Structure 1
Amino acid sequence: MPRPLIGVSTYVAPATWSVWHDAPAELLPRQYSELVRAGGGLAALLPPDERVNAADEVVARLDGLVVAGGPDVAPARYHAVGGPHTQTPDADSLARDAWELALIHAALAQRVPLLGICRGMQLLNVALGGTLTQHLPDLLGGSKEHSPVPGVYGRHVVTAVPGTRTAEILGIEKLDVPTYHHQSLNRVGEGLRVSAHALDGTVEAVETTDDTRFVLGVQWHPEQGDDPRLTRALVAAVSAADREN
């Protein structure tokens, strides 16, 4: 059997290489592709495409989708006003929001297995009508456990909810995971259930309530660690769907 083709969303940002400085580039940290490969898939990078139906066409050619981490989701996407700690969206981040939301909706409509990572989980929640907490330290009394130092991944413990797909994949033991986020889920979107928490109660994973599908989001950054179980499960979901068809 050929290895499943797993698309991973990318973004546009200035980059420098060879003699070129601050040139627009379509980027993704290489750890995401490595995580897909460690799970048994082939990685296909998906740069933003504003053409009508582009997301539908791309997803139709994929076996699975990973929506990567990144900057804050524009608060207008969940009918909120940006707070003092929320990043002000620019044209590139707005285009990324639109592209990744379109990818998520296409994957949901076409029943393509989906894994959201950090921002990807937050966008999945927003796509399904949920909202976000814009600055966790305000909610947690100033705690910076989830993003302790700018530009450096922290670590904290998460625990999966027994009986969920997340627990089936990762077990219910406490897991020490790489983390970097100052926002989190507030109201959970329609058709999602919380499937993991941090010790302070922060939502750390959500999944679909439809047990016949693979739709899962995690708030931490598995690509920054050495645990490929999430992408293995994504690839396994693709194989299971192929057997059913």
Structure 2
Amino acid sequence: MRMIEFRKYPLILLSVLFLSSCCFPPEQDIVKIAISKESKNYTSWLSRYEENAEYYNMYDMGIDSALNVLKTCDGLLLTGGEDIYPAYYNQIEDTIFCGSFDRYRDSLEFALIKSALENKIPIIGVCRGQQILNVSLGGSLYVDIPQEFDTTVVHRQEDWRNCYHKVFIVDSSLLRDLSSVQYGMVTSNHHQGIKKKAEQLKISAYSADSLPEAIEWKDDTGKSFMMAVQWHPERMDTLHLLSAPIARKFLDEAWNFNQNRNK
């Protein structure tokens, strides 16, 4: 596993990527994963299931450079993090209920999603990653679950390392096929969630209060792989059935994309 950093010398490293793609045969034994904003948890998670991978932290590159690098990658991972600015889903008046924002990150991830979908690059989303996928496709969010949504399910607490709740997997969903379970306990750390689902999506898991906990394509005809979960699989046990199969499926799809690109 290699983490590729572009913070100090982005132009030089982009030049190396370009020249290597032009002058040398493509590497068949490395899968390249773009990460919208890196933390060690995410690379460690995927590395449990795939040793031959390189990871690119999109956040440190600038949007134009990130989009150029994404075109050399085989998969996109949208990670957890700050709240999405509510103006993107027409609720700017509810900003008072939000936590911190990162407007640059919002713009970056919207651009990455658009490019990945256009180029049929596999996508996986975690927590915020699920939310921004839904917003990018026309859905909306609960700005603050405790304020807007009547529930006794604890989706976030101060001791976030020990916040768990049950999720229920929808029959006839890809997530059900991958996990082979009807329900399970997951690690949770969010105060926002899907309110209006984007038309192209289907919900593949719910919490006990009916809040959407996972999404996938309603109809995947002509589309690349896309799945997102509201929980944090990267913080869960290596063999957990709502963590490992998700990572493996994403990596398999990234490898398939890699091989088809290099035929």
SS class of match (2:81) = coil
Give CA deviations for 1:11-43 in whole Å, capped at 9, x if unaligned. Answer: xxxxxxxxxxxxxxxxx3311111121232622
2:120 pairs with 86, 111, 121, which one?
111
Confirm or deny that 1:229 pairs with 2:214: no
SS class of match (1:103) = helix
Task: Name which of structure 1's ranges 34-43 and 161-170 shifts more when overlaid on structure 2.
Answer: 34-43
Please name the residue that 1:98 is paired with: 107
Q: CA deviation at 1:150?
A: 5.6
Give CA deviations for 1:153-211 in whole Å, capped at 9, x if unaligned. Answer: 51011122111111112223211111100100011113111111111111000112243
Distance (Å, rounded) in 2 between the aligned partners of 1:106 and 1:84:
32
Please name the residue that 1:17 is paired with: none
Please name the residue that 1:127 is paired with: 136
TM-score of the superposed pair, with normalisation by structure 1: 0.83
Please name the residue that 1:214 is paired with: 225
Please name the residue that 1:39 is paired with: 49
Q: CA deviation at 1:242?
A: 4.8
Please name the residue that 2:31 is paired with: 4
Give CA deviations for 1:114-139 in whole Å, capped at 9, x if unaligned. Answer: 00100011000111011001111234
> Structure 1: which 4+ aligned runs deviate by more than 6 Å?
none
**Conservation of the 8 A alpha-carbon contact between 2:193 and 2:212:** yes
Q: 1:192–1:128: structure 2 CA closer, same or farther, 3 Å change rule?
A: same
Show structure 1 runs of 5+ residues with no match: 11-27
SS class of match (1:47) = helix
For this pair of structures, how many residues does the alignment match?
224
Distance (Å, rounded) in 1 between the aligned partners of 2:211 and 2:255:
32
Task: Name which of structure 1's ranges 193-202 and 227-236 shifts more when overlaid on structure 2.
Answer: 227-236
**Conservation of the 8 A alpha-carbon contact between 1:180 and 1:220:** yes
Distance (Å, rounded) in 2 between the aligned partners of 1:240 and 1:34:
21
Please name the residue that 1:79 is paired with: 90
Distance (Å, rounded) in 1 between the aligned partners of 2:34 and 2:99:
26
Distance (Å, rounded) in 1 between the aligned partners of 2:190 and 2:212:
12
Show structure 2 runs of 5+ residues with no match: 1-27, 238-242
AA in 1 matched with 2:58: L
Higher Cα Rg, which structure: 2
Please name the residue that 2:240 is paired with: none
TM-score of the superposed pair, with normalisation by structure 2: 0.78
Q: CA deviation at 1:2?
A: 1.2
1:137 pairs with 135, 143, 146, which one?
146
AA in 2 matched with 1:233: K
Q: CA RMSD in A?
A: 2.0
**Conservation of the 8 A alpha-carbon contact between 1:117 and 1:220:** yes
Q: 1:144–1:180: structure 2 CA closer, same or farther, 3 Å change rule?
A: same
**Conservation of the 8 A alpha-carbon contact between 1:158 and 1:197:** yes
Distance (Å, rounded) in 1 between the aligned partners of 2:169 and 2:115:
27
More strand by share: 1
**Conservation of the 8 A alpha-carbon contact between 2:74 and 2:258:** no
Task: Name which of structure 1's ranges 164-173 and 219-228 shifts more when overlaid on structure 2.
Answer: 164-173
AA in 1 matched with 2:97: H
**Conservation of the 8 A alpha-carbon contact between 2:121 and 2:257:** no
AA in 2 matched with 1:113: P
AA in 1 matched with 2:32: L
Distance (Å, rounded) in 2 between the aligned partners of 1:71 and 1:39:
27
